């Protein structure tokens, strides 16, 4: 019976103190009887082996006593966990962006490290926030803390909560909030720190930046660029306001995106947007490589225009199929 005692001890070691003695006694009594019955057909060694194997692994048995599930956060709490995690991460991203944008705005000689510091800090903070929120919910799950059921289930939902059509379903305000944030960041850098939008390379232990935009012709294109950004901003705002009627959101964003696309094409083809020295700065003395880079930028611009135009046309077709006047 030595094996039986080992099995029982292997099981109860996972149990809390209050359960240990009780389970130990019960298992011992039950197993001994099961083995006695098995010994009617097998020798003792075989009977012990078969009985213990029929019980499953000691760890698995202990998990059954603890009613342990194979997950950290179960279905009961997962929805609210996911909701809180999203709120925390979004709030943190906004706070970090605002802090660093303010810091950058008031720094007279902006250096490249601030962008890397921002990204690294945001990444670290996100991981820490994820770990804390997950740990708190693991404790709630583990100790079966009773949360108010109203927090867990959306009982107030009625059929009115459904969107007016299927096409509204993929739209999520968060993605449009990021779109708006991106426009603000672009506005800030283009207007105040345009020299930082460039190609970075290290030379003699110092970062050298070759700006992508043409500073010499800045006065001719900055107005168009700001109008373009404003159109993108308005389009993002309209799409993000979910309370607006769907028709207004759809038509408004299509018109604004269309105007933005036209503005972008005008800018690219009528203005000298790109720094003429860019290719030479990146690949000095290598004319073939420099030519490839210039063509690469041109190809990139064309790809952006074609993609935006295609997406815009697809949206018009989808809107017309839903019987909406454009």
Partner 1 sequence: MKEIVDGLLLELRRGVLILGVLSQLDQKEYGYSLIQKLQIHKFDIEAGTLYPLLRRLEKQGLLESSWELIENRPRRYYQISDQGKIVLEQLKTEYFSLNTIMVELTKGGQQ
Choose the binding region for partner 1 from 59-67, 92-100, 124-132, 256-264 (rule: CB under 8 A). Answer: 59-67
Among 26, 44, 111, 117, binds partner 1 (CB under 8 A): 26
The one among 1, 6, 25, 131 contacting partner 1 by CB under 8 A: 25
Q: Which range of residues in 27-35, 39-47, 197-205, 206-214 is near partner 1 by CB under 8 A?
A: 27-35
In the complex, the smallest distance separating the C-beta of residue 30 from partner 1, rounded to whole angstroms, is 5
| Shortest distance, position 16 Cβ to partner 1, whole Å | 12
Q: Taking CB under 8 A as the rule, does residue 165 contact partner 1? A: no
User: 64-103 mask for partner 1 (x: CB under 8 A)?
Assistant: xx-x------------------------------------
60 binds partner 1 (CB under 8 A): yes
Of the residues 9, 21, 33, 151, which one makes contact with partner 1 according to CB under 8 A:
33
Binding of residue 29 to partner 1 (CB under 8 A): yes
**Minimum distance from residue 163 beta carbon to partner 1 (Å):** 34
x/- mask, partner 1, residues 284-303, rule CB under 8 A, reads --------------------
Binding partner 1 by CB under 8 A: which of 9, 32, 44, 79? 32
| Three state DSSP letters for the chain | CHHHHHHHHHHHCCCCHHHHHHHHHHHHHHHHHHHHHHCCCCCHHHHHHHHHHHHCCHHHHHHHHCCCCCCCCCHHHHHHHHHHHHHHHHHHHHHHHHHHHHHHHCCCCCCCHHHHHHHHHHHHHHHHHHHHHHHHHHHHHHCCCCCCHHHHCCCCCCHHHCCCCHHHCCCCHHHHHHHHHHHHHHHHHHHHCHHHCEEEEEECCEEEEEECECCCCHHHHHHHHHHHHHHHHHHHHHHHCCCCCHHHHHHHHHHHHHHHHHHHHHHHHHCCCECCCHHHHHCCCCHHHHHHHHHHHHHHHHHHHHHHHHHHHHHHHHHHHCCCCC
Q: Which residues contact 165 (CB under 8 A, 6 or more apart)?
A: 246, 322
The region of 18-26, 139-147, 200-208, 236-244 touching partner 1 under the rule CB under 8 A is: 18-26
Kindly state whether residue 34 participates in binding partner 1, applying the rule CB under 8 A.
Answer: yes
Site residues for partner 1 per CB under 8 A? 22, 25-27, 29-30, 32-34, 37, 54-56, 60-61, 64-65, 67
């Amino acid at each position: 019976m030595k094996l039986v005692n080992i099995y029982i001890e292997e099981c109860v070691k996972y149990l809390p103190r209050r359960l240990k003695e009780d389970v130990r006694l019960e298992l011992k009594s039950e197993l001994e009887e099961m083995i006695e019955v098995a010994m009617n057909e097998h020798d003792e060694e075989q009977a012990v082996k078969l009985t213990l194997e029929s019980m499953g692994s000691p760890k698995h048995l202990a998990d059954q006593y603890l009613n342990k599930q194979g997950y950290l956060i179960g279905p009961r709490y997962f929805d609210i966990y996911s909701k809180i995690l999203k709120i925390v991460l979004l709030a943190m991203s906004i706070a970090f962006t605002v802090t660093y944008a303010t810091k950058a705005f008031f720094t007279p000689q902006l250096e490249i490290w601030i962008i890397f510091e921002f990204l690294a800090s945001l990444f670290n903070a996100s991981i820490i926030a994820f770990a804390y929120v997950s740990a708190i919910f693991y404790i709630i799950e583990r100790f079966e803390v009773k949360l108010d059921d109203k927090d867990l289930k959306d009982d107030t939902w009625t059929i009115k909560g459904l969107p007016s059509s299927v096409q509204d379903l993929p739209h999520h305000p968060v993605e449009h909030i990021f779109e708006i944030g991106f426009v603000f960041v672009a506005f800030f850098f283009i207007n105040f720190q345009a020299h930082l939008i460039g190609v970075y390379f290290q030379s003699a232990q110092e970062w050298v930046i070759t700006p992508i935009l043409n500073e010499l012709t800045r006065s001719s294109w900055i107005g168009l660029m700001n109008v373009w950004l404003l159109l993108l901003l308005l389009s993002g705002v309209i799409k993000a306001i979910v309370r607006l009627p769907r028709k207004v959101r759809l038509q408004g964003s299509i018109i604004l995106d269309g105007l933005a696309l036209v503005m972008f094409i005008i800018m690219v083809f009528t203005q000298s947007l790109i720094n003429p020295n860019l290719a030479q700065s990146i690949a000095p003395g290598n004319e073939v490589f420099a030519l490839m880079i210039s063509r690469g930028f041109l190809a990139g611009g064309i790809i952006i225009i074609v993609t935006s135009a295609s997406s815009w046309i697809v949206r018009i077709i989808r809107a017309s199929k839903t019987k909406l006047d454009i």
